[in-house]
């Protein structure tokens, strides 16, 4: 595990502080560990859909052709969606 050398300072309202402290206590964590864990999880989620694709012109053209093709229906998915859900009454 990498050593923690960076620091981040936050300003918050008394209400925000109280909520964070109660939540951390309920989880048996230090407030800083609780806040850091949740902040990193939220940041990873926010970044999950952001990806950079670097393609040359030939690869870009191929990608565009693939994306323009009609979607082929998945037979098993069609079958699954045509049956009643387990949440629906029989």
**More confident of the two residues 12 and 82:** 12
Q: Is pLDDT at 61 greater than 60 in this prediction?
A: yes
Number of domains in the chain: 1
Which pLDDT score, from 0 to 100, does residue 90 have?
A: 57
**Which residue range is the domain that position 67 belongs to?**
14-82
Q: Is-contact 33 22, C-beta < 8 A?
A: no
Structure-model confidence comparison of residues 24 and 82, the more confident one:
24
User: Does a structural domain hold residue 3?
Assistant: no
**For residue 88, is it within any domain?**
no
Q: Could you give the CA distance from residue 26 to residue 13 in angstroms, rounded to a whole number?
A: 20
* Residue 87 lies inside a defined structural domain of this protein: no
Look up the pTM and report it: 0.55
Q: What is the pLDDT of residues 20-33, one digit of tens each?
A: 999 999 999 999 99
In a domain, 1, yes or no: no
Q: Examine the pLDDT at 89 and tell me if it is beyond 70.
A: no
């Amino acid at each position: 595990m990498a050593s923690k050398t960076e620091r981040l300072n936050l300003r918050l309202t008394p209400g925000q502080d109280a909520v964070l402290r109660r939540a951390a206590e309920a989880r048996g964590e230090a407030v800083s560990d609780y806040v850091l864990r949740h902040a990193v999880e939220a940041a990873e989620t926010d970044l999950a859909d952001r990806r950079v694709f670097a393609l040359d012109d030939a690869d870009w053209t191929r990608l565009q052709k693939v994306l323009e093709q009609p979607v082929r229906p998945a037979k098993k998915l069609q079958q699954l969606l045509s049956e009643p859900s387990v949440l629906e009454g029989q």
